[in-house]
Amino acid sequence: MDAELVSLVSDIVVGLCVVVVAVVAFFGLRTWRKELTGKAQFEVARNMMLLGLKLDADFQWVRHPLTSSRESAGRQRKENESADESRVLDEWYAKWERLRPLIENLQKLQGAGWEAEVVLDEESSKCQKLLRFLDGAMQNSHRL
């Protein structure tokens, strides 16, 4: 009888240990999933913030009113280009070259916005709509 009782108690203890380990594993995996999700959300938000700050700096540079002759040094010049025509084309070329990194960074930010739309909540979709509008405005700005 004692052997049966010890065996029964042993089986109950082993069964309880299995249940306790399963519960601990479940909560551990749930916590790990939350941690990974939180890290992903943080990284996406951080990346969007950094790209936004870079876009702001690029935008300030594009809007800077003065250009230098160094900015238009890479422009191909026509043979019979007058000084006035050269000055206007140099200015246009310098402004266009300033605009290129801004457009590239806006496209990167738009890509990060798509990632944010997947990883973050629906508030990021409002941001994504704004980025699409800005991208369209930037693409059309050089035509003016």
Digit-coded pLDDT (tens) for 104-127: 888 888 888 878 877 777 666 666
Per-residue pLDDT band for 142 (boundaries 50, 70, 90) equals low
Whole-number pLDDT of residue 122: 64
Of 50, 58, 39, 62, residue with least CA distance to 109: 50
Whole-number pLDDT of residue 1: 66
Tokens 């999700």, located at residue: 37
Interval 14-52: pLDDT, tens = 999 999 999 999 999 999 999 998 898 888 888 888 888
Contacts of 94 (CB under 8 A, 6+ apart): 67, 68, 71, 72
- 13 vs 90: which has the higher pLDDT: 13
Rounded to whole angstroms, the Cα distance separating 107 from 135 reads 7
Rounded to whole angstroms, the Cα distance separating 130 from 109 reads 11
Q: 136-144: list long-range contacts, CB under 8 Å, 24+ apart.
A: 138/99, 138/102, 138/103, 138/106, 139/103, 141/99, 142/96, 142/99
Interval 8-23: pLDDT, tens = 999 999 999 999 999 9
Mean pLDDT of 51-75: 83
